[in-house]
Chains A and B, each alone.
Chain A
Amino acid sequence: MGNPLGRYLLTLSRLWGTSLAMQFEYQANLLLEVVAAVANLLGSLLLLSLFYGGGRALGGWSWPQALVVLGVYTLLEGITSTWLRPNLSTIVGHVQQGTLDFVLLKPIDSQFWLSTSRISLMGLPEIATGLGLMIWAAGQAGIRITPWLMIQTLLMLVASGLLLYSLWFLVSTTSIWFVKTWNATEVLRAALSSGRYPISAFPTAVRRFFTIVLPVAFLTTVPAEAMLGRLTLPWLLLSLMVACIGLALSRAFWQFALRFYTSASS
């Protein structure tokens, strides 16, 4: 038990074990979630197809190429339901009821605890359909999947997942001040829904916004470019850098926010 990494891993396995045990109480939910994943995918396909009638293309992306972007988006949605929402949506409740005190007193990093203590099976159908769509659509686009391509894509997906986490965590942290902002993450989710489409489908000003201010481009378009084998090295490095900056920011912002936490009813 002397080694901190071992301690963290052991805690994590216990937490996830109880989390999963709790989920199996509600099996009907999981079935509905499969239906929801399929319906969501059909809806997204329908919407995307509206831009492709009559031989038109969307922002210079062919139909199978745009499907890769949609696959990445679906995968990220799944990650959100499996990992981000179950954890980060509890922060606001902790602040409101004052139970954040207990989290802060635990002999474990508070950001780690709040970000990882739960895991949900709800996103698995979407993770599976997202990955499936990515691979299938890349095949349709004439891409031969080489090991190097896979490494690249995986790396970009990890970077995109970490960036997504940072955004969620930054937004959830604001509840230290605003207490009842359950909807802050809904705003983020609505904004991120722009990631269903390749970034070049947007007008220039909007494109800049979604690259620099709210880095949606790095969430879905960049991993899709990697999967299609046309990601240049500068973009790969930039994407990794953005993810690191996001993580560092989320860390710094959490520690800054804690200085303002005064516990409930005090």
Chain B
Amino acid sequence: MRNTAFSSRAVSSRALRSPKVRPLQSLQHGWRVARALFASQYALMLEYRAEIVLWALAGMVPFIMLAIWIESPAGAALGMGPTQLARYFLAAFVVRQFTVAWVMTVFEEDALQGRLSPMLLQPLHPFWRYLASHVAEQATRLPFVALIATLFFLVLPWAFWLPTPQRALLTLAATFLAFVLNFLIQCTMACMCFWSDRVNALERLIYIPILFLSGTAAPLDAFPPALRRLAEATPFPLLVNFPAQLLSGGEVQIAAGFTALAIWITGLFLLMTLLWRIGVKRYGAMGA
């Protein structure tokens, strides 16, 4: 049954969020909230270090694909020698580690088990909490990713390279934006929880284009032209191919990539906000 009293309280909690204070004060307040959220989530994530290592390992697909690409004559036909291939796939691995999002899984769980209700009462959008936990998890991953990269260069020393400072900065920006994009894709789809109790099948669905079109399994340069254009019309290559090409020093249209990122992020943000507004009114609180 839908609990209307509940959702009206949730709406009034939105009013709480913008108390009439001076901008500086609210900025300080925001900073305090962000710091507290990050610190608590970071502590939580450190508890599950073993799990995070496993999760990072689960991102090994680029290495498997690298093994095949190096062995196959298709790599050479592509104009990418072993060195460039190795760099590309290592970059793809690193980028993926810092762009993973799992909002759908946690949001579905929170909605199904009723944990969402107290979260809606708090003067903070639940997605901020998820964002903090994602960023905290990335911080926990950092040493592990460094270790894997070191091992990689020990096994394939000829692939070693250092990106130029300019490329390094651009990669950092592109990876962060790619993470925001992936996070927003997940948030938008998580809003479907308001309409359907089970979105995990939907989540499985979204992983498919991410695996095949993002550049995780093959650089986009390897795609036939028509397919490449099709892939580039979707946001998926921006998630891996674009930052990975930046990092590995490949040829890449920098301005076009960042413009596409900005457009997709804005569009999805607006869509997500709209879906959330409509959805939260429908929310009946599980078990009510």
Q: A interface vs B, CB < 8 Å? A: 26, 28-29, 32-33, 35-36, 39-40, 43-44, 46-47, 50-54, 56, 58-59, 122, 178, 180-184, 186-187, 189-191, 193-194, 197, 201-203, 206
Contacts and interface: CB of A to CB of B under 8 A. Distances in A.
A36 B201 CA distance: 8
Identify whether the interface residues of B are mostly helix, strand, loop, or mixed: helix
A39 B208 contact: yes
Interface in B179-214: 196-198, 200-202, 204-205, 208-209, 211-213
Interface in B24-81: 48, 50-51, 54-55, 57-61, 64, 67-68, 70-74, 77
Contacts, number: 100
Contacts of A190: 57-61, 64
B70 A203 contact: yes
Interface residues of B, number: 38
Interface of B: 48, 50-51, 54-55, 57-61, 64, 67-68, 70-74, 77, 196-198, 200-202, 204-205, 208-209, 211-213, 217-218, 222-224, 227
Nearest to A29: B201
B217 A47 contact: yes
B60 A39 contact: no
Given A29-B198, A53-B77, A202-B68, A178 B205 contact: no
11 contacts: A32-B202, A36-B204, A51-B74, A56-B77, A122-B201, A178-B51, A180-B50, A183-B58, A187-B54, A190-B58, A202-B68
A32 B50 contact: no
A50 B222 contact: yes
Contacts of B224: 53
A189 B204 CA distance: 14
Given A36-B204, A181-B54, A50 B223 contact: yes
Contact of A36 (B51, B54, B72, B205): B205
Contacts of A187: 54, 57-58, 60
Contact of B71 (A35, A44, A181, A203): A203
Contacts of B197: 26
Given A32-B202, A190-B59, A180 B51 contact: yes
Nearest first, the 8 A-B pairs at minimum CB distance are: A43-B212, A32-B201, A186-B58, A183-B54, A29-B201, A183-B55, A194-B64, A206-B67
A32 B212 CA distance: 18
B222 A186 contact: no
Given A51-B72, A181-B50, A202-B71, A35 B205 contact: yes
A193 B64 contact: yes
Given A187-B54, A190-B57, A190-B60, A36 B227 contact: no
B71 A201 contact: yes
A58 B202 contact: no
B47 to A, nearest CB: 8
